[in-house]
Structure 1
């Protein structure tokens, strides 16, 4: 009978999905809360004000440079591909996202060697001009340029996705009223893209503040490098946590900007009509200039530094055994970390719909650098390593801490595609399952999650790429001798053995590139209405 079923489905009490979401949010935010508590503990402060201001000033300057550089480059690429047709556009559309496959420290290795005093660029200029120009990229401006080239795809992808959801009627009305192409771009398109630009720039700045490998190799002392230095050189978890506090505050502000910007994009998309934008053909020199710009951006953001590293790597024999061990280790971490992250993100996506605060709380982890998460786990790390006996138990404890650090930071990144996939499940589908006797949890497991299989795969691939490239948390929490590809690349580079560092660096890119291409194809399918 339906009456008992209705009584059972309307029974009041805590939902298992809500409890699971609460537990997932607590796991995601626990290392961050621990880092803040460690920073606020009383005790002697060895960190001087000038040192702190130097770190904070470098981080702020670098973030400002990348915000401007990545926004200009990404917006130009997004507008070219999203609104115009030119030779090679189809290929450029997905190649422009390719720099996401390369960690920033890989690009830094290539450019540092290219622009070294004895490198090919300065040697060629010295031979041609008779003087040696000062082109040292191991500086703040060099780091800003490299990180802008590495992170412009965040702006490019958000702009392209925003253009895919814009209505052609708005542009047609502007042109009917006599607006020129430049006026339409300045007065109509750019204001419509403002939320997407803000979201992409916020993501680029988040990644800039979280970066450790590139800035440390280039000799730029930021708050993130200060966190790692306070722990590794001075052995002070408290000072590392105090340096992490401004990063936590910046993460909260950037996350708020990104969330508000996304709300603007959703609102604009909801108001837009279904008429897709028509691509404007660029012929002659304009089409050639658009192609040259895109090719130049891809070359500077990926092909040039990777090509030089490959050239250098071919001059030495790789340590095959070390590469195999590191590759095995990172795959273990990716599988374990990905499984935990997907579990937490799925619990939040299913159970956090009634309590959006939980998803916002977990989102703070993604905006926080991995080094800060590692600081929050250093105290439990000491407890675990003191409480275990033998190398095997110590290895397991260290891997557990790394997996927790990855999951804490990446749960929010996995939550976005899973949440988008679950939006395709209409309330009528869930109600039909409940009317057939399924509980709320049963309906979620048997109806909603199977329909979001593609979103789960997308989330898993995003987490896989991030774990593959993660460096500071891995350096701080890994068990002794448990190296990943990123760790051994960092070690070789700091020993100035860039030819040896080329092999693990290129392996990271080769593993990540197919995943990035697949993910970019999903964006292309979203924008299919524009390309027709």
Structure 2
């Protein structure tokens, strides 16, 4: 007796669907890696274009004082680096280890200068200490001589940028101090070390990576600054790039100056990586209890409060309050101000969305490639003016090849690409840090349950790092709102951001009008800066 043929089993149906699932999985991985490759090209294209344009023969270049610009940039970087290093290191150690009145207030308030664009501080200080200001006039009437306070000089730029960028060192060192073992400090005290000896011989050597990272950020931001040095009449390389393009109309000359800036950025990055190469700075795998702040004497408490108050006043309060006092005496051009605010919101939101999208593709599409992190860092270290010039080179070739005419949307797209090329590291680093804190078993478990790699990213990993995703979005949004040189070079003529509006007024010496867009940028930047400071403090507390 013959038996009927067996019906297909569930196992055989799974075998039938296996090639389809494998194809779908490979299809998703392909697009993820392709998107990551495109994101990397967005960062590299302007840099390669600058090198190509700078090395190409370009006859009849205008005479340009290159060495004066280069030496001024070098002096500025050294001056700002030294002053910001002292201010940031001492303030971070003070609010982390010692107990004094208003310590918790200063722990987050010292971040506020980071929310204030450097060009806003330059406007406020230059007007407050102007020769015709009430302070200088009253001093001359009272004492018969003038104060030697010329802010429109190299020393004035060092002063302004030092107080604008010392929070970078403060934030990185404070995060490092918070993560160090409380038992380690107790052991050092038992061995007879005094607090200042613990700082120099224990805490600071262990914080060398954070110190180097903060100093590198300060240096790169100083090199990239345009608004403050332009207003203070300090001729740096970044200012030279903008002038070579806007005044001389020479993309080739701008590219040659930009090539020097790219080389300087690469030098800083290689030096930073070399100083950290092959070294481990572990302070302990656990912090068994929270580090209790050390008491200060009465004189020490007064000195600590005065020092932190002075930092806050010089870094933000005095110039901002002065600008507010000037702004309230005039009525702004409300239609123009509202239009600039809308343009800034459009640029910041669009640029943030594009930058986060590209950074996310890189993080998940090339998660095991360490070279990508270096490339992203090189893009961030490159000034916005350089990115803008670098994008103009391939754009002009493309327009000439296809006989296209400039339009609002083409210029808008180039501007967004410039933002993404420079600021992708601001999104990449937080996302990469958040991803490294996740156990790989989560994604592997999703894959064993039938999810593709892209589905595991979308449904498992991305929701788990939404906190760092928000942090990255806030950082990029604020940076775009404050970005000036790239916006000046690439913006459509119909579009004016708050930063550009402030720069136009300031160049015309109409600082009261420039105060209004400047203060709006400051208001937008404060909350993200406070949020970042709070996340760092919570991160340190979670390790206790």
Give the TM-score category using the shorter length: over 0.9
Aligned to 1:17: 32
Please show how residues 488-499 of structure 1 align to structure 2 within 5 Å.
488-499=501-512
Larger radius of gyration: 2
Aligned to 1:347: 361
Contact (CA 8 Å) 1:244, 1:372: kept in 2 or not?
A: yes
Contact (CA 8 Å) 1:199, 1:261: kept in 2 or not?
A: no
Matched, 1:443 2:456: yes
Contact (CA 8 Å) 1:45, 1:239: kept in 2 or not?
A: no
Aligned to 1:361: 375
Per-residue CA distance 1:154-197 (angstroms, 9 max, x = gap): 00000101011111222222211112222222222222222222
Matched, 1:487 2:470: no
Contact (CA 8 Å) 2:49, 2:394: kept in 1 or not?
A: no
Contact (CA 8 Å) 2:50, 2:393: kept in 1 or not?
A: no
Contact (CA 8 Å) 2:73, 2:223: kept in 1 or not?
A: yes
Cα distance between partner residues in 1 of 2:470 and 2:182: 32
Cα distance between partner residues in 2 of 1:361 and 1:512: 27
Cα distance between partner residues in 2 of 1:434 and 1:9: 14
CA RMSD in angstroms, aligned pairs only: 2.4
TM-score by length of 1: 0.94
In the TM superposition, residue 128 of structure 1 has moved relative to its aligned partner by 2.5
Aligned to 1:36: 51
Cα distance between partner residues in 1 of 2:276 and 2:167: 17
Gaps of 5+ in 1: none
In the TM superposition, residue 127 of structure 1 has moved relative to its aligned partner by 2.1
Matched, 1:67 2:67: no
Aligned to 1:408: 421
Gaps of 5+ in 2: 1-10
Cα distance between partner residues in 2 of 1:504 and 1:281: 43
Which deviates further from its counterpart, 518-527 or 492-501?
518-527
Please show how residues 513-524 of structure 1 align to structure 2 within 5 Å.
513-524=526-537
Aligned to 2:42: 27
Aligned to 1:193: 207
Structure 1 179/45 Cα, relative in aligned 2: closer, same or farther at 3 Å?
farther
Aligned to 1:113: 127
Please show how residues 340-489 of structure 1 align to structure 2 within 5 Å.
340-382=354-396, 394-489=407-502
Contact (CA 8 Å) 2:206, 2:283: kept in 1 or not?
A: no
Contact (CA 8 Å) 1:5, 1:437: kept in 2 or not?
A: no
Aligned to 1:325: 339
Cα distance between partner residues in 2 of 1:79 and 1:144: 23
Q: How many residues align?
A: 527
Contact (CA 8 Å) 1:143, 1:215: kept in 2 or not?
A: yes
Contact (CA 8 Å) 1:31, 1:374: kept in 2 or not?
A: yes
Cα distance between partner residues in 1 of 2:483 and 2:398: 22
Structure 1 132/324 Cα, relative in aligned 2: closer, same or farther at 3 Å?
same
Please show how residues 196-345 of structure 1 align to structure 2 within 5 Å.
196-259=210-273, 267-269=280-282, 271-275=284-288, 276-345=290-359
In the TM superposition, residue 105 of structure 1 has moved relative to its aligned partner by 0.5
Structure 1 176/406 Cα, relative in aligned 2: closer, same or farther at 3 Å?
same
Which deviates further from its counterpart, 250-259 or 433-442?
250-259
